[in-house]
Structure 1
């Protein structure tokens, strides 16, 4: 275990183990919106069903809309974090298929060995868990630097447009390979998983969702050599795709770096 940094670096460490499993999702009441309307979009920090903590705007390093006419930034005034559930206020424009993207600044978390191993097992990071087992590190505490990068694809009006497949340049990102608003229940959907702009092979990806307030059971798959994963959208509902990419860190005092990515959309 490398020597821990002190003073200012330790001020950044979040040492509460109950926080490690919080995922970040963008969730609309409906992803099918009317043109020229105001919409409140939930930013869930917890699970797809419940937000346990807000995300303050100072943690956001990028917030952008990708539409038929390109990328445009969202102003901080659109962000509201006064309750456990953060929300963003959007004004829809002309008909088309849009992407909302949000990327957060990195933070540090320090966990004891048992808590870190449980986190790896629970949150779908088996490769690092196996590497720790193989190298005799299961008994070592860990400092992790993490950040989260989330996107949602939504449809305004009835006109399907291009542009939704453009990457936003986040450290981890899920890019659709087809417009989800051309999908129907029972069809296959493909996405590409990127880490620092490059396709990531053999990445564990989890797919789940919600229909009428009931959870759609999660399923797991691995990306191919091109970073692509495919799954069948077997029913209507609000869907999410997620992955956590973790690697050993070369930063002094930090053992691992993780980047979390989610993508949400809806199928009717």
Structure 2
């Protein structure tokens, strides 16, 4: 989480949950045709990775572009420090989408910490349900998995491959090509859960520049009934959009199951 905190409990949650967020990134999202390139996984915040992603947790990785369908194997990854890198070779000119999904993991939080975490992620429905059931102070066991995407551009010609679904449980689908945008333009997404629009869902949006400027962090927005959300590109550079969708778990050992989604891209 990167929301501003003013109390000790929020600082504790920051360190506890910051390694809970995953981004698929690149130093530059502009590549050349038929060139050797790398993407990398940040497991932490948008600007710092806390640990690598072990190969046994990576599932359904893929990179799609014009007449291009690359499914990475374990040999295509390597670790450096706390970052996991993915090597690949680009294909034809166009706009590409890359994605990685992870196997589920689990976390246990006290009732107080869990409520604070829900508040900062905008998961108000879960908070209300726990209050109604009188379980706000009870320990919560959460099963979670992460599904991350990046949109990048190979040379100049723009194509519609950026909107190709990757069949993840939850995903942001761009409604316009980010590589047609300039500062001041509007970027729009549709959020899908199990292939259906996810309405009234809190999402968080920011850019590297916003995170670096004092007092400017994430902007929280709500999707429409159609699952759509839009925002203004107010500066150039690297951008992301993120969300968490949480439901009660049907498994005996867990109280909740959540699916996390992030998508990154760049605007010149």
TM-score, scaled to structure 1:
0.88
**Cα distance change on mapping 1:226 and 1:255 into 2, 3 Å:** same
C-alpha contact (below 8 Å) 2:68/2:91 kept by paired residues: no
SS where residue 164 of structure 1 aligns? helix
Higher helix share: 2
Are 2:250 and 1:250 aligned?
yes
Distance 2:105 2:210 in 1: 35
1:237 Cα deviation from its structure 2 partner: 1.4
Q: Specify the alignment match of 2:90 in structure 1.
A: 92
Q: 1:131-179: per-residue Cα shift (whole Å, max 9, x none)?
A: 2223321111111110000000000111111222121110111110111
Gaps of 5+ in 2: 1-12
Gaps of 5+ in 1: 1-15
Provide the aligned C-alpha RMSD in A. 1.9
Distance 2:231 2:210 in 1: 21
Q: Specify the alignment match of 1:3 in structure 2.
A: none
Distance 2:68 2:134 in 1: 49
**Cα distance change on mapping 1:70 and 1:199 into 2, 3 Å:** farther
Q: Specify the alignment match of 1:267 in structure 2.
A: 267
C-alpha contact (below 8 Å) 2:94/2:156 kept by paired residues: yes
Distance 2:118 2:202 in 1: 12
Q: Specify the alignment match of 2:152 in structure 1.
A: 154
SS where residue 93 of structure 1 aligns? coil
SS where residue 81 of structure 1 aligns? strand
Q: Specify the alignment match of 1:4 in structure 2.
A: none
**Cα distance change on mapping 1:19 and 1:55 into 2, 3 Å:** farther
Q: What is the total number of aligned residue pairs between the two structures? A: 253
193, 197, 200: which one aligns with 2:195: 197
Are 2:146 and 1:118 aligned?
no
1:190 Cα deviation from its structure 2 partner: 0.8
Runs of 4+ in 1 over 6 A off after TM superposition: none
Q: 1:192-242: per-residue Cα shift (whole Å, max 9, x none)?
A: 101111111100011001139835631111111111111111121100001
Show the 5 A alignment for 1:220-231.
Answer: 220-231=220-231
